[in-house]
Amino acid sequence: MKARAGIVVAVALAVVAITVWVHWPCSRNQFLDWDDDEYLGFVTQHPRLSLETVRWAFTTAVPFYYQPLTWLSHVADYQLYGLQPQGHHLTNLVLHGLNTALMFLFVWMLGESIPTWGRNERLATAAGVALVFGIHPLQVESVAWVAERKNVLCGFFFIASLCAYVRYTRQGQRGGWWWTSMGLGVAALLSKPMAMSLAAVMLALDFFPMRRQLVRGWGPLLREKALLIVACVVVAGITFFAQSKSDAVTSLKQLSVGERPLVAVRGMVFYLWKLIWPAWLSPYYPLGDASITQIEFWVPLAIFAAIVCVCIWQRRRAPALLAALIAFVALILPVSGLFQAGAQAVADRFMYLAMVPPLLLVAGACVWLWNRFGLLVRVALTLLLAGEISYFAVRAREQAPIWHDSEVFWTYVLAHFPESAIANLHYARVQVQKSRFDLAVPYALQATRTLPEDARGHSVLGLVYLKTHDFSNAVTELQVTIRLKPDLSGARYNLACAYCRLGRLEDAYETLRELLTVDPRFGQIAARDSELSGLRQSPEYGPKLRELIGPP
């Protein structure tokens, strides 16, 4: 018996080791200017784990999500590693390795609910699902991106909660395991609101393979999860409030009620296809327009409708189909586009947990084929699975370097979506940070042409014009920036610099005076900046500026 247990542990450790090896290049990546900088900006204001930091984490929801445990994990990393990116990336990698081990345990335990499966079927299924979960190219984004700590941390508590839930149902429904499952579920919610799908996933497991509704009925099963459902509703409300305050929620003007289901269904079919064949992946997929007349929307709609019909039609003969569909939709729905947040159409990270129901379904089908057919089919199935898994590992290793740094990242996105305003804007920012102002001009221009009402593009273009000595255009762009977003202090400061370089000293002084009234931090910068030397040397405005700035 101990020997058999040792084999199971050895297989699980091998799966985790392969997962860590596949994602190891992520540990050499840098921070990105794609949310990483904003997370670190908040964390550096709370650099130590303390009661005050805990209070801040549990009372902060803007500008991202309500994610106190994720904030605390970032603070812990900052306390250990400072601004060395390798430590932060290693934490993501360790969490993903732990999640792979938990996935193995979850599938192994779940296999007990299928009476036709023996020990070998359970072991093969647990190893196969955990391995694909660990090394699939769609997982690279969650591991390689420090800002997606929330995804791997939420995944840890989510899968652990499911393991405790399965144990609770196997052990005569004892209260200790129920409380453990609920507590871990709440921890998942406090890491990322996407865990609001947990109760629905549990109900799908109740339907199949555990078939608990046949014994207890749906009413008691729902009441059993009431605590988790209430927590999900509360966190969903906080999340919607936080996203609305940070302008992350896409308005109905940008994406209408009729367009949202089209985006959601296209995304679901996209994810299923990429799960099978991840040949073309991007770190960012622009949202774009949606219309039922476009082939990219009506074809996925027809495919998804067919899938739903088959699953309902076969719900008695093949209940696994409907259970997998319910769990998959529940996991994707919060990020599907029905409640659109952000400018992405789809994102690889959204499949982090959502890939598990289809994987379980495929694994069950493979076991059925293995047991039903002879040697020829078994050899063909083995070769097919070996080829697919090898392909996943190769593609994942290729994806990791894309996240190495901001310039590599946005260069790759632009190669796929050259018209993307977001990609052009961020690539222009990268060139500005490297003082390549001439190179930044066409990308900043493209960003403002594509999204003329986005203040960020005009702000970057205004700065680029300032640094390339095109002061008139700099003034024009920075004025537009302030009209669109008056609280952008950096744009207001750059406008004062552009006024000064044009010789419009009165405008430069008044702009600085207004800025320093609300943001005095720019005073010491203005005292040294060569762009404002004309204002400082002016007999009329020099003394006023020194009085405004105060003593050095």
* Last residue within a domain, chosen from 403, 425, 458: 403
CB distance 278 to 138 below 8 Å: yes
Give the mean model confidence (pLDDT) for residues 428-442. 94
Q: Which residues contact 332 (CB under 8 A, 6 or more apart)?
A: 264, 267, 268, 271, 350, 351, 354
Q: What are phi and psi of 344, to 5 degrees?
A: -90, 145
Residues 326 and 379 in one domain: yes
Residues 381 and 415 in one domain: no
CATH code for the domain of 537: 1.25.40.10
Residues 288 and 417 in one domain: no
Give the mean model confidence (pLDDT) for residues 197-206. 96
* Last residue within a domain, chosen from 368, 403, 438: 403
**pLDDT category of residue 295 using cuts at 50, 70 and 90:** confident
Per-residue pLDDT at 550 exceeds 80: no
- In 3D space, the residue among 26, 28, 30, 27 whose CA is nearest the CA of residue 407 turns out to be 30
Residues 214 and 76 in one domain: yes
Residues 324 and 415 in one domain: no
Angle at alpha carbon of residue 527, lines to 522 and 530, rounded to 5°: 105
Residues 121 and 228 in one domain: yes
* Last residue within a domain, chosen from 336, 370, 403: 403
Its domain, for residue 13, covers 2-403
Residues 113 and 161 in one domain: yes
Count of domains in the chain? 2
Q: Which residues contact 439 (CB under 8 A, 6 or more apart)?
A: 431
Angle at alpha carbon of residue 411, lines to 407 and 415, rounded to 5°: 175
pLDDT in tens, 527-545: 888 889 998 899 888 888 8
- Number of helices (H) and strands (E), helices first, in the chain? 28, 0
Residues 305 and 272 in one domain: yes
359-394 CB burial, b ≥16 within 10 A, e <16: bbbbbbebbeeeeeeeeeeeeeeeeebeeebeebbe
Residues 15 and 100 in one domain: yes
- In 3D space, the residue among 191, 126, 137 whose CA is nearest the CA of residue 163 turns out to be 126
Task: Name the pTM for this structure.
Answer: 0.92
Per-residue pLDDT at 247 exceeds 60: no
Three-class DSSP category at 438:
helix
Residues 64 and 208 in one domain: yes
Q: What are phi and psi of 187, to 5 degrees?
A: -60, -40
Residues 250 and 152 in one domain: yes
pLDDT in tens, 329-386: 999 998 887 665 667 788 999 999 999 999 999 999 999 999 999 899 999 999 999 9
| C-alpha to C-alpha distances, 405 to 34, 248, 422, nearest whole angstrom | 10, 24, 16
| C-alpha to C-alpha distances, 167 to 172, 204, 243, 274, 467, nearest whole angstrom | 9, 16, 36, 32, 63
**Higher pLDDT pick, 545 / 111:** 111
Per-residue pLDDT at 251 exceeds 50: no
pLDDT in tens, 40-58: 888 999 888 999 999 999 9
Per-residue pLDDT at 171 exceeds 90: no
Per-residue pLDDT at 305 exceeds 60: yes
Residues 374 and 291 in one domain: yes
What is the length of the chain?
Answer: 552
